[in-house]
Structure 1
Amino acid sequence: MNTQTSNNHQAPRGDHPERFSSVGFIVAAIGSSVGLGNMWKFPYITGEYGGGAFFLLFIVSLILIGLPILLAEMTIGRGGRGDSATAMFNLTGSKYWRLFGLMSVLCAFVIMSYYTVVAGWTLHYTVESFAGVLFRGGDDFRGKFETFAGSYWPVLWQVVVMAGCAWIIAKGVSGGIERFNKILMPGFLLILLLLMVRSLTLPGAGEGVQFFLWPDFGKLSAESVLVALGHAFFSLSLGMGCMLTYGSYVSRKQSLGVATVAVGIGDLLYAFIAGLVIFPTVFSYGLEPGEGVGLAFMALPAAFAQMPFGSLFGGLFFLLLAIAAVTSAVSIIEVPVAYAMNNWKWSRKKAAYVLSAVCLLFGIPAALSVGGVFGGFQPGGKTLFDWYDFTAAYVLMPLGGLVVSLFTGYAWKRAKEEAGLSGFWNGVWMFLMKLVSPILIVLVFLYSVGII
């Protein structure tokens, strides 16, 4: 790398022509972070890896790895005024950092291709729950899910999700992304609180609350630590360029430190309330908290089926999942869209619709691999859906986060100036970026690929 170029290259200093309002940015960033990671994945890994003790580990992981990388991504985005590849080039003039940044763009594309599959499942279950169809014909909810996943319905719902995201992105930053999040996120919070109240008033709910909030450190293992670190990364949408791209639309008057804390608190708050929705329900109806990925789609419907007004509460729960999925999906597809606009000079509408269509075509095989026509095709013992997930979430995301950490800590000399932190907090942030975060990210990566 040409270090002379890296040190002397000047970043663009003006505001991006497309821009969030201060409140709109924080709402959109929280909407990005509060996805299926909090509402679907967090409860089942908490149940599997230690309950309350794991929740504490998750909080520590947010502080040590999540918030510092989040601030770094937003700082790079605002300083470089572009997607991850463009911003890193703008800040250093180095084609090598452009290539490293391109990894996040690729990661976002891959994630979007299978994330919309799960988002489609949530829409299907929302409709089925409100209509009461989900709770008819017996209580074999595992069989019902497998029948649905093995059909062509997931593709149709995937098309609906992708089309909706493309339409929102095509409307622009303030008129599309910001307005969409400002409408949906308050509704999301209202539904979440309603479900929390209902869950906490169920018979036996106290046992679930105790499991979630009372730490038993004897349940923890070295694996629990690595999973908590990885989830802190995943829950904030880090390593895939989302927060970096959103950061490019932030005014220079916005305090990035305040925004980072606000997004972190929002992410943690939603995870906390999600736990108070899931675990009291699980224990009240005798379900297994470590059920795994099937907790939302196979186990919880059994609880809603026994609950008074179960169709209503089940529908609200899956609507909650759907909102969480779509607000995150919008931020994910914006990453390759921004890249196409910056590097190929495409219009926003062209980039939104063309890339969404290509992403859909790439994702259809994943949708059909979960028991569908491609279900029997399992190279290396994994379905296509699993391979997409493994490649993006366990390889590209950690590597993308490592690139952000090293870029901020070592390559970009004006990072501290752009972040706008005080002297003490700048020192803490740089220590984390240069030493702590890279080591933890490497450990998470080595665990994810099965080396440790």
Structure 2
Amino acid sequence: MSNLNPNTKRETFSSGLAVFFATLGSAVGLGNIWKFPYLVGINGGGAFILVYLICVALVGMPVAISEFYIGRRARTNPIQAFEKLKASSFWKIIGYLGVLTSLFVMLFYSSVAGWVYLYTFKAIKGDFTNIASLPIKEAGIFVSNEFNIAVNGTLSPMLWQLIVIAIVSIIIFAGVKKGIEKVTKTLMPVLLVLIILCAIRALTLEGAKEGINFLFSMDFSAITPSVILSALGLAFFKLSIGMGTMMTYASYFTDDNNMPVTSARVALSDTGISMLAGLAIFPVVFTFGLEPGSGRGLLFNTIPLVFSKIPFGNVLLAAFFFLASIAATTAMTSMFAVPVSVLTESLNMKKGKAVLLTGGVIIFIGILTVHPSSLLGNITILSLNFFDLFDYISSNIFMPIGGLLIAIFVGYFVAKDDLINELSNQGKLNMAIYLKLFRLILRYVTPILLIIIFLNSVGLLKL
């Protein structure tokens, strides 16, 4: 049963600032804390950042603005949106893909978020304070064992995944203004302050210069076709697009929100937070002679070891993982909102039941599949365990296809005047030249680049 009553009052964000923090909270995730700075460092430093920003302009922002258009214009969930826009029923596939993608991502992302929550709790308790007194080898064994327990434990990883889902469920149940808006307006500034403090402390260390060089050296010789493809994919995935989140949040935008400017602010702020994370991490890495390419292992295996050897290290360690938990929570909240909006608006389900059903599905499947100690944790499909399989399908198949369909729909099946009127707030914003350029890129550049991203992601294109 549809819930398309035009007289139904739909909740909206209270201001442009609330919109900015909510959409930024959706874009900022655990990838900002490690993956982005690491890719910058190994792919040409500042040169990679320049390429990345170009890719954001050509792929990330056009798709984000397109999602904003669909969401605010329709004022409903990603599936019903195309019915409201009087589009062919075929285009509902975008909404279904968005729901599936957000669910698939949450299945494994909530597990990783649980590890971060656990490490925040352990740091606050002082579980890592004894590391400073241990010899390096014994300290390394200690933190390695702690991580193995966090990941491979029989009950602990499942319990912390449940806690993550419970907290996100409470935020969603509280609503747009009292839940999503209040949390993101509070936590995003806290995240920014914490990451700045960690960066300032890291820049006082001996390895600060080497860490800065790792991030910002302009090595254009490192920019190869494969690096450009990496920047393209990162620009697309980092902005949380192609999975219904931006479309869902945009359905709560105010009528006077400048959507093109919002997309630009989110893209630049997301990049800035990622670089601050790099400034907080890599000076520490080089000071203590750690391996900058150790990926996820650095975050959980070596960061406790490193901070234990710095004055007030346990405080900074707790702050670091609390920062990471904020990023995980705000990103999870935006994904969780997608299936809940569909259940409440398409099936007229009460919000409480929709939240419980969504959370229940994630927990049930997660407990059965994504943990090494899960009942199905050791089963592999195409040489991938379920954790990696959910990641691969959502990131390499669903998201690029969803983004491509969004670009084609808005670029070719939305009337030019309707698009420009909506994005210019019925002509109140003077940006005619920009919107014409945006539509040109959306029609002729973005789809080609998204096809390249998809072919590269599934291994059909190797440059």
Band of TM-score, shorter chain: over 0.9
Q: Which residue of 1 aligns with 2:188?
A: 185
User: Is 1:65 matched with 2:59?
Assistant: yes
Q: d(CA) in 1 for partners of 2:312 and 2:140?
A: 16
Distance of aligned partners of 1:251 and 1:62 in 2 relative to their CA distance in 1, 3 Å threshold: same
Alignment of 1:26-425 (within 5 A): 26-134=20-128, 136=131, 138-140=139-141, 141-151=143-153, 152-369=155-372, 374-413=376-415, 414-420=418-424, 422-425=431-434
- Equivalent residue letter for 1:88: F
Q: 1:46 to 1:146 in 2, by over 3 A?
A: farther
Q: Give, as a single letter, the amino acid of the residue that structure 1 aligns with 2:33.
A: M
* Structure 1 position 340, deviation (Å): 0.8
Report the residue type matching 2:13 in the other structure. Answer: F
Where does residue 430 of structure 1 map in the other structure? 439
Q: Is the 2:37–2:215 contact (alpha carbons within 8 Å) kept by the matching residues of 1?
A: no
Give the secondary-structure state (helix, strand or coil) at the position aligned to 1:306. coil
How far apart in 2 are the matches of 1:49 and 1:373?
Answer: 39
Q: Summarize the Cα distance change of 1:294–1:55 in structure 2 as closer, same or farther, 3 Å threshold.
A: farther
Please give the TM-score of this superposition, normalised by the length of structure 1.
0.93
Q: Deviations over 1:107-152 (max 9, x none)?
A: 1111111111111111111112232313546223334312321112
Q: Which amino acid aligns with 2:292?
A: P
Task: Write the deviation string for residues 382-427 of structure 1: whole angstroms up to 9, x where unpaired.
Answer: 1110001001111111111111111110111122221116221112
2:448 counterpart residue number:
439
Q: Is the 8 A contact 1:44 1:293 kept in 2?
A: no
Pick aligned residue for 2:13 from 20, 25, 34: 20
SS in 2 for 1:139: helix
CA positional deviation for 1:230: 1.1
Structure 1 residues 100 and 114, CA, compared in 2 at 3 Å: closer, same or farther?
same
Tell me by how many angstroms 1:34 deviates. 1.1
Deviation of 1:12 after TM superposition, in Å, equals 9.4
Q: Deviations over 1:215-265 (max 9, x none)?
A: 212223322111111111111111111111000011212121222222122
Deviations 1:56-89 (A, max 9, x none): 2222222221111111111110011122221122
Deviation at 1:319, TM superposition (A): 0.7
Amino acid at match of 1:96: F
SS of the equivalent of 2:190 reads: helix
Per-residue deviation at 1:436? 1.0
Code of the aligned partner of 2:140: D
Which stretch of structure 1 is more off in the superposition, 345-354 or 238-247?
345-354
Q: Does the 8 Å contact 2:37/2:275 carry over to 1? A: no
54-63 vs 426-435, greater mean Cα deviation = 54-63
SS at match of 2:289: coil
Moved more, 283-292 or 322-331: 283-292
| Map of 2:134 onto structure 1 | none
Instruction: For 1:396 and 1:230, locate their aligned partners in 2 and report how far apart those are by CA, in whole Å.
Output: 13
Q: Is the 8 A contact 2:370 2:377 kept in 1?
A: no
Aligned residues of 1:112 and 1:332 also touching (Cα < 8 A): yes
- Structure 1 pair 56–259 and aligned structure 2 pair: CA distance change class (3 A): same
CA separation of 1:411 and 1:374: change in aligned 2, threshold 3 A: same
TM-score if structure 2 supplies the norm length?
0.91
Q: Report sequence identity in percent.
A: 36
Distance 1:433 1:192, change over 3 A: same
Preserved contact between residue 73 and residue 404 of structure 1 (Cα < 8 Å): yes
- Partner letter of residue 433 of structure 1? L
Which 10-residue stretch deviates more, 181-190 or 136-145?
136-145
Partner residue, 1:8: none
* CA RMSD in angstroms, aligned pairs only: 2.0
Taking the aligned partners of 2:382 and 2:326, their CA distance within structure 1 comes to 34
Q: 1:38-61 CA deviation, whole Å, 9 max, x = no partner?
A: 123212333443333322222222
Q: How many angstroms apart in 2 are the aligned matches of 1:302 and 1:47?
A: 22
How many Å separate the matches in 1 of 2:56 and 2:391?
Answer: 22
Deviations 1:194-229 (A, max 9, x none): 101011111121111111011212223322111111
